[in-house]
Every structure is written in structure tokens, then in C-alpha cells.
Amino acid sequence: ALEEFCRVCYNTAYLLLVQWVPFGALLTGGSEQQQRRYLPGLASGDLRAAFSLTEPQSGSDVARIRTRAEKCDGGYRINGSKIWCTNASLADFIVVAVKTGTDDKAGSINFFIVDCDTPGFTVGKKEEKMGARGVPSHAIFFEDVFVTEDQRLGSEGQGFKIVMEALNTSRPLIGARGVGLAQGAMDLAVEFVKERQAFGQSVSDYQGVRWMIADMAIQIEASRNLVYRAAQAADDGVSGKELATLAAIAKCHSSDTAMKVATDAVQLFGASGISNEYPINRYFRDAKVLQIIEGTNQIQRNIISRNVMAK
């Protein structure tokens, strides 16, 4: 479904996926009480969620987050700020990464479910973005936001493990969006070059153009199979390093493919490719987002190489 949505509209697919990371985190680390409270509403669409990890000084380096939760009577007080929280202005609750210790180790990270009507929680301005413009992203702020222990996901210090497992299951879905976006870009390019005439013949008759289309098709099909393999592994209950590697490969290859195919499609459109009269420039802008979100492709390569070298 994500692949087909993204073939036509990246943002529709994104709106579906943005629910998955908090949903996956609740499935992985949520208590029975938390799951009963939140999962039915997420599944039905009655509740909307967001997930918040990134801070100005810590994107890929998760262990360096500074937002902290300090123990108090009855629970914790959260203070700090986050950036690039997608769906923050629309969410009913946000799964937030915080530090409960004083060091920079992953073991001091915990996740809390913060209801968006909690006093002290505020949503900042909407970011103006190059791509993914149909989905809002915001800074968010916490000033003595009170949460109970029952709002913590998992036991103390288990937050990093919980979110890594959630990301391992969501990255194949990022991959599916990459496949869909690439397929949509190629479809538009094929339609355009068939109709476009140059030097007395259809542009699609030139061998150089046909080779570009062939390369697109090769990479799209390769990405599709990598994504389906990773998704099947997740459905089969594969976890840990094995799933992390398959998910990273799928996410990295498919988003790189989306960027390459969209870039070549713009080239085939010529001057029309940079005109807002044609949709292909939107595919180009949205493809770049896929190479960055949920772990940059450089981070994916780190994950892949680390796990391969450890065998």
C-alpha cells in the first residue's frame, strides 16, 4: 500500500508511516495497559501519534540528546526541546526520547508517552521544507512536563533497544516509499519521452534515452526485492542484527534508487523538469528526504558494514 501511495503522492504515504514508529515502539516496549489505551485508537485512526528523537546537537548521534526527565513525586519532570518532530501539530500524543541519567551512553535513554494537552508542552513553528511539504514538522518544547512512571516505555534504560527494534521494522517501509517514488518518477519520464519530439523523431527512440529508462527499471526492481525480503523477515519475527542489516540495506538501496531515478527523470524532462507545471520536480525534492530520515544513508552503511564485519 505504501509503495502504491508513494507512486502518486509521497505525502499520503508519509502520513501513514509517521504513525508506525510510535505504533511499533508501543508494540515492542509498551505495557499491556499502554497498548490497550493507545493501539486501538491508532489502528482505527481515532488517535494520531508522533515520534520525537532529534535535537539540534544530536541527529544520528542519539546518545547525545539533552532533553532530560528527572524523578519527582509520582513520576518525572521533562525539560528540553526537540526539532523535526513530524506530525507534532496534529498528534494526540508523542513518544519522546529523553535522558534519565547524566552520561552520554545509550543505556540512560528512555521513552515516555507525552499527551499533547499536558501542561508545559508546546509546539513551535512549522518548518519550511524542500520536500515532504504536505506533512508538518515542528520544534517541540518541554517545560516541567509531568509524566507518570506508567507513561515510560519499558523498564528503566531500555529505551534505546526499544526504538532500535521499532526502526528496524519501519525502515523497510521507508524502502517501500522509495520504490514507489522511483516507480512513479519512471512512469512520468516514460510518458514524457514517448510524447516529446526532437530532431524529427520521438525522444524515446534514442538509444541513450532507452538505456536511462532500462537502468531505472533495473534499480527499481532490485530495490523492490530487497524491500520485500526485509519486510518478510520482519513479519517472520526476525530481529536483532539480522533484521537491522536487511532493513538498512533495503532503506539505503531504495532511497538511493529513488534519488537517482528522480534525478534522471528530471534530466529527461529537460527544462520542463524544473518547472512547477510538471510534477516531476516534486518527486526529486521528496526523494532527497528519504535519504535522510530515520537514519541517513551513511548511518545505514555504518550499520551494514558493522554487522557484516562482525560475522
Segment 231-266, tens digit of pLDDT: 999 999 999 999 999 999 999 999 999 999 999 999
How far is it, in rounded angstroms, from Cα 259 to Cα 52? 25
Which tens digits make up the pLDDT trace of 88-140? 999 999 999 999 976 666 668 999 999 999 999 999 999 999 999 999 999 99
pTM: 0.92
pLDDT of residue 104: 63
**H-helix or E-strand containing 307?**
helix 297-309
Phi, psi of 119 (to 5 degrees): -55, 140
For residue 88, what is its C-alpha cell?
507534532
Question: 265 near 283, Cβ under 8 Å?
Answer: yes
pLDDT of residue 85: 97
Q: How do 68-72 and 109-115 pair as beta strands?
A: unpaired
pLDDT of residue 164: 85
How far is it, in rounded angstroms, from Cα 99 to Cα 105? 9
Which tens digits make up the pLDDT trace of 188-214? 999 999 999 999 999 999 999 999 999
DSSP string spanning 177-212?
Answer: HHHHHHHHHHHHHHHHHHH-EETTEEGGGSHHHHHH
Mean pLDDT of 60-73: 89
For residue 227, what is its C-alpha cell?
524491500
Does 62 or 205 have the greater pLDDT score? 205
pLDDT of residue 157: 81
pLDDT of residue 118: 98
Active site residues: 294
pLDDT of residue 298: 97
Which tens digits make up the pLDDT trace of 2-46? 999 999 999 999 988 888 889 989 998 999 999 999 999 999 999
- Scored b (16 or more CB within 10 A) or e, 37-71 reads bbeeebeeeebbbbbbbbbeebbeebeebebbbee
**Spatial CA neighbour of 52 closest among 112, 117, 12:** 112
Q: How many CB atoms lie within 10 A of CB 72?
A: 11
Does 28 or 275 have the greater pLDDT score? 275
Q: How many CB atoms lie within 10 A of CB 206?
A: 14
pLDDT of residue 105: 63
Which tens digits make up the pLDDT trace of 143-153? 999 999 999 99
**Dihedral, CA atoms, 247, 249, 253, 254, nearest 10 degrees?**
-10
Phi, psi of 132 (to 5 degrees): 50, 45
**Spatial CA neighbour of 178 closest among 143, 245, 228:** 228
**Spatial CA neighbour of 188 closest among 269, 131, 133:** 269
pLDDT of residue 103: 66
Q: Going from the N-terminus, what domains does the chain have, and what CATH number goes with each?
A: 2-156 (2.40.110.10), 161-309 (1.20.140.10)
- Sign of the alpha-carbon dihedral angle for 104, 303, 257, 181: negative
How far is it, in rounded angstroms, from Cα 151 to Cα 274? 47
